[in-house]
């Protein structure tokens, strides 16, 4: 008999689960920190067009969103299917954009205002008429930094 051979059957040691809570907590904190809750419910269908020359939108807290698209199915009976503008949680008309930009500005610090961006999330089937109107209002409101929201890809 060799000196090192152990007597009897070898048993597999059980994997220690003592550190499992730590691992889970670590993951939990990671997701808690990175998570961004969706703050608006979309009332319009938006499929953004595809583009290749895209840039990432930084500083989400400084971005205001304008959604343009046809109302979702549930609301089409009441609002029709023509593209509409959605600001925050409600449909809006073009004239309300200046007011919207003003409220968005009030919520930010004064130093941050020049860095504010307006992201236009418009459906690819929308006509330029409505988008031009929005752009004109943004010019009037002096919110000149805009971003046409797009997906990555080519046609």
Partner 1 sequence: MASKRRSLPEINAGSMADIAFLLLIFFLVTTTMDQDTGIARKLPPMPEEEMQEDDSQIHAKNIYVVLINAHNQLLVEGELMDISQLKDGAKKFINNNGVNPNSSENPEKAIISLQNDRGTEYMTYIRVQNELAAAYTDLRNNASFKKFGETYAALNKTQQKEIKKMYPQKISEAEPKNIGGNE
Contacts with partner 1 by CB under 8 A lie at 17, 20-21, 24-25, 27-28, 31-32, 34-38, 48-49, 51-57, 60, 63, 117, 119, 122-132, 135, 138-140, 142, 144-152, 155
Q: Residues 43, 91: contact at Cβ < 8 Å?
A: yes
* Cβ nearer to partner 1, comparing 35 with 111: 35
Q: Are 106 and 134 in contact (CB under 8 A)?
A: no
Which residues on adjacent β-strands are paired with residue 66? 120
Nearest distance from C-beta of residue 72 to partner 1, angstroms: 18
Distance in Å, CB of 102 to partner 1, minimum: 16
Comparing CB distances to partner 1, the nearer of 44 and 122 is 122
Whose Cβ is closer to partner 1: residue 3's or residue 56's?
A: 56
Distance, in Å, from the CA atom of 91 to the CA atom of 147, rounded to the nearest integer, reads: 21
What minimum distance in Å lies between the beta carbon of 7 and partner 1?
35
Q: How far is the CB of 29 from partner 1 (least distance, A)?
A: 9
Instruction: Determine the Cα–Cα distance for residues 129 and 136; give it in Å rounded to an integer.
Output: 11
Nearer to partner 1, 3 or 55 (CB): 55
C-alpha 69/C-alpha 86 separation (Å) is 8
- C-alpha torsion 82→88→93→98, nearest 10: -140
């Amino acid at each position: 008999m060799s000196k090192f051979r152990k007597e009897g059957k070898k048993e597999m040691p059980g994997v220690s689960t003592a550190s499992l809570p730590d691992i889970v907590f670590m993951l939990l904190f990671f997701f808690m920190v990175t998570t961004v809750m969706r703050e608006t419910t979309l009332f319009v269908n938006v499929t953004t067009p595809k583009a290749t020359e895209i840039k990432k939108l930084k500083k989400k807290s400084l971005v205001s969103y304008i959604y343009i698209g046809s109302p979702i199915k549930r609301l089409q009976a009441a609002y029709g299917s023509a593209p509409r503008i959605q600001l925050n949680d409600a449909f809006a008309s073009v004239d309300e954009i200046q007011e919207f930009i003003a409220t968005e500005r009030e919520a930010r610090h004064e130093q941050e205002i020049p860095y504010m961006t307006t992201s236009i999330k418009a459906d690819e089937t929308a006509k330029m008429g409505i988008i031009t109107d929005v752009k004109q209002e943004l010019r009037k409101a002096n919110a000149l930094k805009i971003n046409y929201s797009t997906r990555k890809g080519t046609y």
